[in-house]
Amino acid sequence: MDPTTKINIPESDRERIVIVGGGFGGLQLARKLSRKDKYQVVLIDKNNYHQFQPLFYQVAMAGLEPSSIVFPFRKLFQGKKNMYIRVTEVTSVDPQSKTLQTPLGFCNYDHLIVATGADTNFFGNENIARNALPMKSVSEALYLRNNILDDYEDALTTPDYDPRQELVDIVIVGGGPTGVELAGSLAEMKKHVLPKDYPELNIEEEVDIYLIQSGGELLKGFSADSSAKALKYLTNMGVKVLLNSRVTDFDGNTVSLKDGRQIPSQKVIWAAGIQGMPLAGLPASATTYGNRLAVDRFHRVKDTEDIYAVGDVAYMEEPAWEKGHPQVAQVAIQMGENLARNFAYRLDKKEPVPFTYHDKGSMATVGRARAVVDIPKPEFNFGGFFAWLLWLFVHLFAILGTRNKLIVFINWVINYINYNQSLRLIIKPKVK
């Protein structure tokens, strides 16, 4: 496409707000703004659907089908005449001319919101980036599922012990919520599913699941009690948790640790960190810690005009969060709501409201009837069955679409009864 070609969006006398990214923050902002017909709203995303990231690991572990945790943008915005959706990527932004460049051509904006989220951070290790398996999208979750099931199929025809160990052992790097939830899900699969699906393998003796955490505790940012509970749950489930251990290399067959230990495995799931994905063309001075965009309390990107950022890509300091907010869905959603409110105030010539994050708590599930919950006000934490039920309720409520809620609920009920879902399919794209 000729870069001088303009994206086909009707011109309007209303100010145009362009949102890049349909994650939690961008989507919340778009939904609020679509109700204000005084603005023309353009949502740009490389996919035509919103992805519910907290449940990626259940897709990877064959617990949910991908379609049950995604929701098409166009269905969400049906009937919104001031809303325009374009499925493409933004390759660069020119703040001087107030234009975005995409493979479809360029797009003008009056106000730009960067909600591009975050991607996996491999901390500059090219070997790990090349060989490890990230999980930041539905497609990556499916790829991980295919790899796990493929390797167990290959293990059936691998008679030698050492090569077979590389196929069946799984290493998870990162002891945050994603790593803990993956480890717990794999432990349940090892106990309840693999012995039935692969009776020819000695699952109990041969299959090992490692969770490697560089720090001295799991679930950093949670209470000490919740971290200890998660560690106890995983240990009791047979997961080999290695604390104060740092992965230095992974060549595709062997995981190398800083203390010299090595773990034979062809599967390393990388959940050890994320980094922001700012748009090319923004001033270098705007990029700060974790490759995020420095924004003020009104979401304005440093050293720019009419450019804002919300969600994981935004780095904002406030009195209660002097080192920035955690990169979680609740922060993104609240940022989207606050910025939408300020755009509404702008129409009414009211002063904008600075953002204040209201921490509603943290939770992580480790498996069936095992979860931990931290509530900040009043300070309270608990674990076990009731924490697990709360985790189920909160996530079920947050999923978009009645059909998706129903399908996920049915899948969870079936899994609770027999652990034996029929989603363990190896689905590969056709190669021409």
Residue 141 one-letter amino acid? A
pLDDT higher than 80, residue 395:
yes
Any idea which residue has 């259940």 for tokens?
58
The Cα diameter of the chain in Å comes to 74
Closest by Cα among 233, 243, 185 to 209: 185
DSSP string, 125-168: -HHHHHHSB--SSHHHHHHHHHHHHHHHHHHTT--SHHHHHHHH
Tell me how far apart the alpha carbons of residues 237 and 155 are, in angstroms, rounded to a whole number: 23
Structure tokens at 278: 């700012």
Asked if residue 215 lies in contact with residue 202, where contact means CB atoms within 8 angstroms, the answer is no
Residue 5: predicted pLDDT? 84
Cα separation, 247 vs 272, in Å, equals: 10
| C-beta separation of 357 from 325 below 8 A | yes
Q: Provide the CATH topology of domain 126-272.
A: FAD/NAD(P)-binding domain (3.50.50)
pLDDT in the model for residue 334:
98
pLDDT (mean) for 51-77: 90
- Cα 191 to Cα 7, 39, 236, 277, 420: the distances in Å are 53, 54, 12, 38, 11
The letter for the amino acid at 27 is L
d(CA 18, CA 212): 40
Identify the active-site residue in 89, 181, 305, 379: 181
For strands 15-20 and 39-45, give the pairing.
parallel
pTM of the shown model? 0.92
Domain boundaries, the chain: 15-120+274-347, 126-272
- List C-alpha distances in Å: 219 to 75, 203, 320, 401: 36, 28, 20, 30
Q: How many CB atoms lie within 10 A of CB 68?
A: 22
Q: How would residue 2 be classed by pLDDT, with cut points 50, 70 and 90?
A: low
Structure tokens at 174: 């990162």
Task: Report which residue type is found at 241.
Answer: V
Would you call 181 a catalytic residue per the annotation? yes
Pairing outcome for strands 15-20 and 111-114: parallel
Residue 39 has what pLDDT? 94
Quote the crossing angle between the two packed helices 402-418 and 385-398, to the nearest 10°: 150
To the question of domain 15-120+274-347 being in CATH 3.50.50.60, the answer is yes
Poorest-confidence range of 122-126, 169-173, 187-191, 426-430? 426-430
328 touches 19 (CB < 8 A):
no
φ, ψ (nearest 5 deg) of residue 133:
-110, 110
What pLDDT is stored for residue 377 in this prediction?
83
Torsion of CA 261, 265, 267, 269, to 10 degrees: -20
Helix (H) or strand (E) run with residue 107 in it: strand 105-108
Q: Is 108 exposed, middle or buried (0-12, 13-18, 19+ CB in 10 A)?
A: middle
pLDDT in tens, 40-51: 999 999 999 999
Q: What is the pLDDT of residue 64?
A: 85
| Lowest mean pLDDT segment, chosen from 58-67, 99-108, 298-307, 385-394 | 58-67
Residue 431 confidence (pLDDT) above 60:
no
Take residue 118 and report the two structure tokens written for it: 């975050």
Listed residue (271, 331, 281, 395) closest to 20, CA to CA:
281
Give the residue from 8, 15, 7 showing the smallest Cα distance to 33: 15
